[in-house]
Amino acid sequence: MQKKAIILLSGGLDSITVLAQLKNQGYQCYALSFNYGQKHNAELNAAKKIAAYYQVEQHKIIDLGFASIGGSALTDEHISVPESPQEGIPITYVPARNTVFLSFALGWAEVLNVQNIYIGVNAVDYSGYPDCRPEFITAFQQLANLATKAGVEGPGIKIHAPLIKLSKAEIIKQGVALGVDYLQTVSCYSADQLGRACGVCDACRLRVAGFEEAQIADQTYYQ
C-alpha cells in the first residue's frame, strides 16, 4: 500500500520543499491550504500551481474567518507589514495560526484515514513565531492522539516537521537537489497579485539571506 501524507501547503519556499521530499519518497500527498484573509494571497495561487505540478491526490483550500479576528499585520488592513526587523515576536505573527491549521489537518487526516501530517515549519532562520518551534510541534503531537478517534481507537496520527532544525540555506539546497523550482513560490508578506516580492519584509529578508548563504542564484522578482 502506498504511503499517504497530508501536507500543509502555503505556496512558500518551505512547504514546496517538504512536498518535493514526500513525492521523492513515494508518498501519495493530500495538500491543504487556507484562505485566511492573508493580504499576500498570491501565495494561494502559487499553492494551486505547486499542487498541480506535483500531482497531489487532492488539494483542499479551506476558507477561514481569520481576518475577522484580526490582530496581525498579515490579516488586518489597519496594521502595516514592517519593513525592518522587529524585537520579540513580530506583528506579522497570526494568533494561533498553526494551531488552527494543524487542527484542520488533523480532522482531514481522520476522515481520509491518513496517519501522517507534514508541516514545513522551521525554527532556525525564522521570524520567531512561537508556533514554529519544536516544543509546539511536540505539544501538538501529544494533543493529536488524545483529541481524535484515530488516536484513541486507531493507529494514531504523526505530526512531522522535517525542516524544523535546518537553516534556510540547507532547505534551499535540499530543494534544488530535488529539482524544486523556487520561482513557483511566494514568500513575501506584501507580494502583489502577480507574486512579485517587496524584498524588505521579514519573509523576504530570510529568503534573500538563504539563497545567498546557499550560494544559489535567487531568481525571485523583487519589485
Chain positions contacting its own copies, by CB under 8 A: 60, 62-66, 68-71, 88-89, 93-100, 103-104, 106-111, 130-131, 133, 135-136, 139-140, 142-143, 146-149, 151-153
Closest of 84, 71, 53 to residue 184, by C-alpha? 53
Nearest to its own copies of 80, 223 (CB atom): 80
Give the nearer residue to its own copies in terms of CB position, either 155 or 177.
Answer: 155
Instruction: Tell me how far apart the alpha carbons of residues 144 and 83 are, in angstroms, rounded to a whole number.
Output: 36
Residue recorded with cell 523576504: 204
String of DSSP letters for 21-38? HHHHTT-EEEEEEEE---
CA distance to 6, 33, 67, 74, 153, per residue, from 36 (Å): 19, 9, 6, 10, 32
CB of 166 to its own copies, least distance (A): 21
Measured from the CB atom, is 25 or 63 closer to its own copies?
63
At 197, phi and psi to the nearest 5?
Answer: -95, 150
The rounded distance, in Å, linking the Cα atoms of 137 and 131 is 8
CB 40 → its own copies: shortest distance, Å? Answer: 19
CB distance 172 to 166 below 8 Å = no
In the complex, least distance from residue 207 CB atom to its own copies, rounded to whole angstroms: 23
- How many CB atoms sit inside 10 A of residue 139's CB? 14
Helices 42-53, 13-24: axis angle to 10 degrees equals 10
**Rounded least distance, CB 108 to its own copies, Å:** 5
Shortest approach of its own copies to residue 101 CB, angstroms? 9
Nearest to its own copies of 159, 203 (CB atom): 159
Residue whose C-alpha is closest to residue 15's, from 117, 100, 103: 117
Comparison of 94 and 180: residue with beta carbon closer to its own copies:
94
* Nearest distance in Å: CB 205, its own copies: 20
Minimum CB distance to its own copies smaller for 117 or for 166: 117
